[in-house]
Copies of this chain bind each other. A is one copy, B any other.
Amino acid sequence: MTRWTIYLSGEIHSDWRERIMRGAADAGLPVDFTTPVTDHAASDDCGVAILGAEDKGFWKDHKGAGVNAIRTRTLLRNADVVVVRFGDQYRQWNAAFDAGLASALGKQLIILHAADLTHALKEVDAAASAVAETPEQVVEVLRYVTGGE
């Protein structure tokens, strides 16, 4: 295995993905990152924008969730390691859902969140191989596990 594929799931409102990607690039790690669509508006609208308008919010959301699932499920299944980030805003149930999927599929999970979310995330953290508080720690974990030293 010369390169690892890392799927970065979860929060889309802070720069955690960029910090991990930049850190990995700076360290020259043999990793390729995949991500969901992180443009919030595009992610919300993709269903109706492509497949036709809906009157009800429920079906607009349903269509969008389906289209996004084509991307996220496929990338998650093809990843070696899944990192899931929880921030302090929004409900982020899709992040926890992804963690459940990844766990059932036998993927190694790294959970990233601030210390004050520990109690709320205890079941998700318990399914993870590592729980980090900063993107830099995730980079260090990736450096260690891919570098072997």
Contact = CB atoms under 8 A, between A and B. Distances in A.
Contact of A67 (B2, B86, B98, B144): B144
Given A57-B118, A58-B118, A94 B65 contact: no
A91 B91 contact: yes
A83 to B, nearest CB: 10
A93 B90 contact: no
A95 B123 CA distance: 9
A114 interface: no
Interface in A93-140: 93-106, 108, 110, 115, 117-133, 137, 140
Contacts of A52: 133
A1 B34 CA distance: 7
A50 B140 contact: yes
A106 B69 CA distance: 12
Query: 7 closest A-B pairs (Cβ-Cβ)?
Result: A100-B100, A104-B104, A65-B126, A96-B96, A61-B122, A94-B123, A71-B145
